[in-house]
Amino acid sequence: MQTYLELEEFCKLVHLNEDVVKGMMANGALNFKEEEGKIYIEAHQGTFSVVPSA
């Protein structure tokens, strides 16, 4: 099951501004969808894309 967060919520979670996140979306680093004019980012894959691995 995939969990999606609205763009603003995702930005708060990962401490990045919207421009950085939108750049990652454009580069294919984040899975996202658009519904009813809002952008939703897939939470599980998205968090691992911005958090460095140990």
- DSSP for 4-50 reads EEEHHHHHHHHT--HHHHHHHHHTT-S-EEEETTEEEEEHHHHHHHH
pLDDT confidence band for 41 (50 / 70 / 90): very high
Q: What is the spatial distance between Cα 42 and Cα 54, in angstroms, rounded to a whole number?
A: 22
pTM of the model: 0.78
Taking only the tens place, the pLDDT of each residue in 22-40 is 999 999 999 999 999 999 9
Return the pLDDT at 47: 55
Q: What is the spatial distance between Cα 6 and Cα 32, in angstroms, rounded to a whole number?
A: 9
Q: Tokens for 11, please give them.
A: 């930005």
Q: Tokens for 52, please give them.
A: 């460095």
